[in-house]
């Protein structure tokens, strides 16, 4: 009989988290380590991920930091090829450039899609190749958004990329299932992070967001811990191609 108390444990597994220096990525690294995974934190900011890895180790976890620009596909391929085989990938690195559709310039479009879509695609490919070569099962978690399910004013680039992530998640789930590699996404609502903080200085914008979130508050990074651990662990062993919405009810209406 299965020991239900251990279904969420990640002991002996290795996890890779991109954009791990702050915000959601940092929370993901901390949560995975808290449940026993050895976590590799990746970011362009060496100071952030080094400090984060040291803090996880100080708390009794297992962690290391690798400075890497995930938009550099060849560097990603080389680094992951020489690193560990990762049982868990949290494809979190992302950005946003909100603004009216009619004002969008190619530079902004390319910047967001390069990180939100292309980088996520090729990081997942590099991790998958190692898993298949070693004959190991795995879990890929793509950090999407509620904006991968609905539209929003001034969010055309972001919505475009997150809808792409949802499509990628489903296609990979189908293709990688024979290898025992599960692929799911998480769709948060607006989460208070260093990246989103400037937006909420606009009280009108903050009020408009809170009207949409049925639970009446902005999200915190800790609100995502449960979904992350569920999808990373054997507790979600029959879940693939799914999107877990952590949106306070935004998309329910």
Is 162 a known active-site residue? yes
Is 35 a known active-site residue? no
Q: How many CB atoms lie within 10 A of CB 113?
A: 17
Task: Name residue 41's beta-bridge partners.
Answer: 17, 65
Q: How many CB atoms lie within 10 A of CB 164?
A: 18
Q: What is the DSSP string of 170-224?
A: HHHHHHHGGGTEEEEEEEE--B--TTTGGGGGSHHHHHHHHHH-TTSS-B-GGGG
Question: Which residue in 79, 162, 170, 212 is the catalytic one?
Answer: 162
Compute CA distances 80 → 68, 74, 88, 188, whole Å: 10, 10, 13, 27
Q: What is the DSSP string of 151-162?
A: --TT-HHHHHHH
Task: Name residue 39's beta-bridge partners.
Answer: 15, 63
- DSSP for residue 246: E
Q: How many CB atoms lie within 10 A of CB 61?
A: 19
Q: Is the separation of the CB atoms in 33 and 12 below 8 Å? A: no
Q: Is the separation of the CB atoms in 142 and 168 below 8 Å? A: yes
Question: Which residue in 158, 170, 212, 214 is the catalytic one?
Answer: 158
Q: Is the separation of the CB atoms in 243 and 148 below 8 Å? A: yes
Tell me the catalytic residues: 158, 162
């Amino acid at each position: 009989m299965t020991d239900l108390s251990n279904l969420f444990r990640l002991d002996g597994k290795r996890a890779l988290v991109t954009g791990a220096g702050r915000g959601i990525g940092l929370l993901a690294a901390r949560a995975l380590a808290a449940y026993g995974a050895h976590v590799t934190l990746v970011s362009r900011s060496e100071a952030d991920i080094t400090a984060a890895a040291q803090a996880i180790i100080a708390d009794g976890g297992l962690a290391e930091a690798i400075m890497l620009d995930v938009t550099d596909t060849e560097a990603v391929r080389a680094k992951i090829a020489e690193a560990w085989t990762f049982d868990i990938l949290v494809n979190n690195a992302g950005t946003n450039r909100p603004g009216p559709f009619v004002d969008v310039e190619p530079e902004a479009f390319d910047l967001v899609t390069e990180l939100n879509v292309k980088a996520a695609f090729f990081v997942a490919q590099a991790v998958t190749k190692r898993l298949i070569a070693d004959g190991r099962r795995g879990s890929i978690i793509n950090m999407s958004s509620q904006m991968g399910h609905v539209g929003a004013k001034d969010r055309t680039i972001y919505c475009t990329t997150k809808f792409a992530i949802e499509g990628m998640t489903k296609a990979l789930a189908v293709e990688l299932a024979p290898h025992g590699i599960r692929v799911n996404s998480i769709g948060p609502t607006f989460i208070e992070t260093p990246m989103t903080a400037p937006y909420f200085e606009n009280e009108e914008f903050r009020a408009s967001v809170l009207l949409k979130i049925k639970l009446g508050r902005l999200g915190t990074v800790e609100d995502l811990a449960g979904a992350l651990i569920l999808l990373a662990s054997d507790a979600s062993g029959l879940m693939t191609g799914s999107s877990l919405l952590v949106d306070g009810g935004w998309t329910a209406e």
